[in-house]
Structure 1
């Protein structure tokens, strides 16, 4: 065999080897790519099919079927109906059913997420984040924290730059964490926790339930305001912690701290400070601000809230409280919140969640307000139109709740009873530290709930007109 022939054979063998190696590499790459091809899903296919199958169950637009439903027939989930509906597909309206205007479930946002089913869905692997921590270092997702900061910057409702963020199981858990962090320990005089009336009842219930020696709850803020404002800066060691809800639950007012004293501290509950519920006039820049996923996206059951904290010492004490209390927030909740925020932030076309939320709440407020304005027996809180920096226009009020007042003297002592007799369930004013001539009516529930409320209120007002003619 000649030299030239041997060289040719060696070259051919080398080419064959290179081609074989290249082909193997391409096959490996192709195989990996195929795993993520829509038509070639592997472990996720069964879960996705099951989720789609349950979501497709028809509930006549008056309920939903869930994979974890407690209502099961032949081991298959069935419809869970909205208030005042029944039947296997929620097709039956219960005509005598009272209007449910009691709870604060923000289900008014459910249609938005159904319209965005594909982009908002998330499938979690069975081995997802099994550790207590993220990357063996933190209870918090750094990606989610970054998205929260980005969200606030886009909406313009809070300053987060140079501040600390801590997660909680809903904003409710963070309230007590903040009170704990602001209260001096081992003091001869416990801190006094005071809200502005009317106030969200959980503040009182939580503070009294935990019964810490370092702080106690008192309702009469005006009394303490007079006391503290008359004291000199040196003659009292009592720390006052004022909880300021803005916009307020139940009346939607944009409250500000009223206690002026070096020993007075403020916790701002800002969970409703989103374009759904109020005009965004300026970014809030308070020392402690609380927010929640519930009022931003409507996902109350995910139980995720966050605090934006200015002072490092307060942040450290809050973090210590949270670590001992629950050792962080569910990783699945954080993953869901991260994905939902991505959907909101990255949405380039169509109606945003803020457009949808404001339009829905504004429509509900206008309809209810128009009916109540015809009455001499009831009134609603006064809310003014304001310029909104987010929408770049003057916008009307769109509160989460109606704060209804009975105007007749004989009905002032129990306005709730008047509504109950009219088949309307709300929350009495004393629940919020106020008089029982007030009742809170929720406007954030399902469209079915609101339609029923509107219908009941119309009947109540029409009976008022009939009584006049008699």
Structure 2
């Protein structure tokens, strides 16, 4: 215990942690830094770091458990539970099972009375055990059809196809089979709240040949309103979404039918021979903390954290016409005994583990939304993995505070560029002749030379903008009102070549002749579309500097 406390006291600047079983350098544990942080003490923010919003690692609850470190700690003696089985011959702790029933009763999200409970190494393990159990007594000669409604959790498809079982096969979107009359056996996977969009899903298929698995991993008060206790034949939950302890690999299924329970139990015996005793001991301790006091502290912390994140994200996206997220209806939560709606004057707040971000077609061109975000150093989970279109990307909001702050910063940049470009374009079209003349008088033929250089390079289908060229013009670009130089910021790129997306009618012709033509006719606007594109995309300076640059071309 003393050793663990010594390791936990190592300073990692609030952007990482040292662990008892972590990395060791020169005999001492070292800091394991959060995403995009580095250095011996994790104090260095790494530039141009790719922000990971793909993983659903639920570390947003870590501050709660740090606050409750003492009450949630366990000490495992060397002799603890060395046997394969518990004293009753089972692989399941009866005390832990009783606490699972208590946690559901206290929250009111599932009915466990008169039902069987089985443990697994996370929800993924239990999902395949359930599919196996429901398909193994299939009366049909063909494999059972495993289906899920789009957008669905990708693991449903990936895991089902991975095992290549003769008893079942993944058959895509549930809606495709609503009018099926073949008497085939169906296993419908229903996720509620849904991953990725938080929608409260219900089973679609009905009939004697339909069996349903309800994945209720996110049906907890910190992710969604608890509208009523679920009372389904087969329900699956996971510790990772309840307390955030994904690394403990623990989940449980609540099963009504004894035959299904026994088949799942057999699957568990052959696949892992139960969940480790140390894991079960830790889970028991965590549930006791969650139930302590009024049994609400953990959920209130989680809900307030998620609400705060959604408020910030909604505020940023409210300024965008290009990016948007799913809209969830406010509902009455029996746990909090209130309808979760925003306070007057605030942005609409919805609570979901993930933001299903949609990119407008205007920004996609020939790219997917995933590629648009990737260019902005954001990695999400692309919509096609959920069976959806490429306009959507799932962004995880359940990671650490550092991770969310970095994600929000990058999204803010995306939205800022969008609104910034619109402001510059609007201002440019309204420039007066006097303003343009002031700049022309200051810069003389330098502005004309810039246009010629762009024109000449465009002849070969490429154009080049250099940092030196941008700063070369800086001394002579003034505001007619203040006569103060506009300064290009440090983000102006060094020499870089871009393929042209546009050619003027009739093409560019001979580059030398084009240059001569520009010298003869200073009012020629052939290069203006190029200069607008350059000023908006590849010379990311202040709005005033870009307006001045545009007025030079005019």
TM range (shorter): 0.7 to 0.9
Partner of 1:242: 188
1:414 aligns with 2:368: yes
SS across alignment from 2:172: coil
Give the superposition deviation at 1:409. Answer: 4.6
Q: Per-residue CA shift, 1:7-52, capped at 9, x if unaligned?
A: xxxxxxxxxxxxxxxxxxxxxxxxxxxxxxxxxxxxxxxxx11111
**5+ residue gaps in structure 1?**
1-47
Structure 2 contact 18–32 (Cα < 8 Å) conserved: yes
Partner of 1:326: 272
Give the superposition deviation at 1:348. Answer: 4.7
Partner of 1:200: 153
Q: Per-residue CA shift, 1:334-364, capped at 9, x if unaligned?
A: 0000000011112359x70000000001111
In the alignment, the residues of structure 1 paired with residue 411 and residue 21 of structure 2 have an alpha-carbon distance, to the nearest angstrom, of 35
**5+ residue gaps in structure 2?**
342-349, 426-554
1:305 aligns with 2:251: yes
Choose which of 390, 396, 401 in structure 2 pairs with 1:442.
Answer: 396
Partner of 1:98: 50
Structure 1 contact 187–214 (Cα < 8 Å) conserved: no
In the alignment, the residues of structure 2 paired with residue 170 and residue 220 of structure 1 have an alpha-carbon distance, to the nearest angstrom, of 25
Structure 1 contact 189–237 (Cα < 8 Å) conserved: no
1:181-196 equivalent positions in 2, closer than 5 A:
181-183=133-135, 184-185=137-138, 187-196=140-149
Q: Per-residue CA shift, 1:371-430, capped at 9, x if unaligned?
A: 112211111001121111101111143100000011125617500111111111111101
SS across alignment from 1:226: coil
In the alignment, the residues of structure 1 paired with residue 84 and residue 239 of structure 2 have an alpha-carbon distance, to the nearest angstrom, of 21
Partner of 1:115: 67
SS across alignment from 2:179: helix
1:147-296 equivalent positions in 2, closer than 5 A:
147-183=99-135, 184-185=137-138, 187-227=140-180, 231=181, 236-296=182-242
Partner of 1:452: 406
1:73-84 equivalent positions in 2, closer than 5 A:
73-84=25-36
SS across alignment from 2:275: coil
Structure 1 contact 139–328 (Cα < 8 Å) conserved: yes
Query: Aligned residues, how many?
Result: 414
Partner of 1:389: 334
In the alignment, the residues of structure 1 paired with residue 281 and residue 291 of structure 2 have an alpha-carbon distance, to the nearest angstrom, of 15
Larger Rg: 2
Choose which of 267, 277, 281 in structure 2 pairs with 1:335.
Answer: 281
SS across alignment from 1:250: coil
Shift >6 Å, 4+ stretches: none
Partner of 2:478: none
Structure 1 contact 186–214 (Cα < 8 Å) conserved: no
Partner of 1:23: none
The answer to which structure, 1 or 2, has the higher relative contact order (CA under 8 A, 6+ apart) is 1
Partner of 1:66: 19
Instruction: Give me the TM-score of the superposition, normalised by structure 1.
Output: 0.86
1:129 aligns with 2:81: yes
In the alignment, the residues of structure 1 paired with residue 411 and residue 193 of structure 2 have an alpha-carbon distance, to the nearest angstrom, of 25
RMSD: 1.3
SS across alignment from 1:444: coil
1:402 aligns with 2:355: yes
Structure 2 contact 115–254 (Cα < 8 Å) conserved: yes
